Chains A and B, each alone.
Chain A
């Protein structure tokens, strides 16, 4: 039939961005209104904030694991650097102005990024398990440094009375903006170079991709956003202790990324939501809480080893495109014939 000949209509890029921006602004406004109206209790709103923070941590780790294809295990270290940086700035600068909040988060990200470069250059010469171990070591060094610099960080008892800047709007605006920036990076020449390294490092190098540069770049971007998430975390809890940033924190973030699907931003966010909300939701089964949590992970990994979403990423505009082309529900057999 001549229907198949009709070209597939696409939404222009600028219009896509417009649609997505409008949708996100509406979501953000709706969320704020919901929280302000008081239909959500304190405990629930705390969970919602935590989900946002962990979503950003997972999305940032996904840059290094899912997109670049490396396995760093020290993500809590970058988070700690960011958390303490933001906390110290906010404690030193009173007031709740947007400028102060932004300054804190930006500084948190930048300092974490500096650590990312410093660790990344030597660490990324190694591969696989070696990289995992060296970054694991880095995470621990940060934690030990925090314990042993009580003058700055408050040592083991920690840092108290941090201004609680992380409101719903601050957290989610930051998360959305960060995800958008990571997305725009990945959908560009530089992003493709990073993906190419994951797919085949030798071929990428032979195609002219400076693999060292792009590995450090991806690692640094990953560290930057982990630092920003750390800053949000500081502004959410109001108290920081070195115990918040152990190896287990890094592992938890990694579990989120793997569960959601390596290389899928939407997957990371969904997994962060599930794994943050689940332990809290299961509190009434306190005894079996961790058993259920562990079982869930095992079941997902057995039946969906590539994670909940695999490498698939959710795209609203793609769905709209399918709808306007009348292909929202393609029949399998027919699609196969067309390709053949």
Chain B
């Protein structure tokens, strides 16, 4: 196991000095980050309570805890997105109070975001160049009139950007638009952009969210390599990640009690034939064909960028297929609108949740029932029995929910249209192991109560255990299909997706 300096932190934080500190730590010099007695209140709710933390130079510190514990809030306090109610933060000995976010960047903090925030309409290279915001002092006129300074800056930034992109094997994508990258590459690009400002402290918010075990390991290696490579720069990192423990995760949790062959004999509900989908010139799906039988749980697993999300989007009608057909309950729906597909009984809980942040929980659920003209109060109650937490937060606006609660809301909203087929895209993304097993248990109950489910998951181990049937996707193709158990025994799958 990697030797991370792990500090177990809840929002009621005690400094655990001397615990898990990596030997290279510069004990003599002052800590790069010194947080004392930090508190913040949102309305009546105390989100962070008396939080104290010290991080040494070149140290990798992990901030772990369940959803809603306040991890992202701490990051937002560190970058002054929120102002602390009490307490103080010293960065490299300097008080950060009242500093704007870009001034903090200049002092040496760079961060990534839990919900990736790239400059989607700009190229990968330009994204990195924007990150290089200091060390270049040419004025506006130097650039406008193409004085020597511009040529120098452009050359330096170009070379540096390619060097940084090379660290994460993104060099050959330098000219692509950031928004067109697959999910995992977007996460990596965000880290590269953060590195571009040569930070002393790098804040990574759920860097492995949505990655499968082998990708996660690769990312961890990369992060350690960065630390070693840039040791001269004395960089410290604070990462928050639920999934640090996933490698030793308890295999017994939420074990499905499903038959190997599923509910054989069920009639085909969804039939996808030779689907081809393009993003611009990039062919994202290549002749994808599969079917989902009524009453079963089918799962698609595969690396980031394999085309799993695109498949779901094409089934729900949000993405148009260039060729191929989608049939639902023996009707060809390839050309129908997304809303009529919802009316027919397909509903999607999208990747990244996509709740309506300004609406309350109740209003979000009502939006799920938008097309229904009958009384849906019964379904609302049903959603609340599946997700009691949502009932407690009925009146709260969805944007203030924690990541896990937002996931529950997204699923609840999808249920409100009373779907026959539910498309679930990465329901476990960014959730703690405990919450993941809770969500998976709910998926199983939903299925027991008759909803057919098509699940896309990074957490292949759990998905395969739950699913009756599964398919593995690689670069836009289905390369392997079988029952969940067959696939979880397949050596290729074990190596690539189960971290074995």
Contacts and interface: CB of A to CB of B under 8 A. Distances in A.
Contacts of B144: 181, 184-185, 188
Contacts of A200: 117-120
B136 A189 contact: yes
Interface stretch (B65-73, B100-108, B371-379): B100-108
A263 B102 CA distance: 25
B143 A189 contact: yes
B101 A199 contact: no
Interface string B272-291: 00000010011100100000
A204 B119 contact: yes
Contacts of A198: 121
Chain A interface, DSSP helix/strand/loop, else mixed: helix
Contacts of B131: 207-208
B206 to A, nearest CB: 15
28 contacts: A184-B146, A185-B140, A185-B143, A188-B143, A188-B150, A192-B126, A193-B133, A199-B120, A199-B122, A200-B118, A200-B119, A200-B120, A202-B81, A202-B101, A204-B119, A204-B130, A206-B79, A206-B111, A207-B105, A207-B194, A208-B131, A210-B100, A330-B281, A335-B281, A337-B283, A339-B281, A340-B475, A340-B476
A207 B132 CA distance: 8
Given A184-B143, A193-B133, A199 B119 contact: yes
A210 B138 CA distance: 15
B153 interface: yes
Interface string B467-500: 0000000011000000000000000000000000
B136 to A, nearest CB: 6
Q: Give the bracket for the number of chain A residues in contact with chain B.
A: 35 or more
B282 A339 contact: yes
B418 interface: no
Contacts of B194: 207
Contacts of B130: 192-193, 196, 204, 207, 209
Given A202-B113, A340-B283, 9 more contacts: A184-B146, A188-B150, A188-B153, A193-B133, A205-B100, A205-B101, A336-B278, A337-B283, A340-B282
A203 B196 CA distance: 13
A208 B197 contact: yes
B36 interface: no
A206 B105 contact: yes
Contacts of B105: 206-208
Given A188-B143, A189-B138, A205 B122 contact: no
Nearest to A202: B117
Nearest to A211: B102
Contact of B133 (A181, A184, A208, A339): A208
Given A181-B144, A185-B144, A192-B126, A311 B138 contact: no
Contacts of B118: 199-200, 203
B129 interface: yes
Contact of A195 (B113, B122, B154, B278): B122
B106 to A, nearest CB: 6
A190 B105 CA distance: 17
Interface in A307-340: 311, 330, 332, 335-337, 339-340
Interface string B354-394: 00000000000000000000000000000000000000000
A205 B105 CA distance: 8
B197 to A, nearest CB: 5
A191 interface: yes
Nearest to A199: B119
Given A192-B129, A195-B121, A207 B193 contact: yes
Contacts of B122: 192, 195-196, 199
Contacts of B101: 202, 205-206
Given A211-B102, A339-B282, A190 B140 contact: yes
Contacts of A181: 144
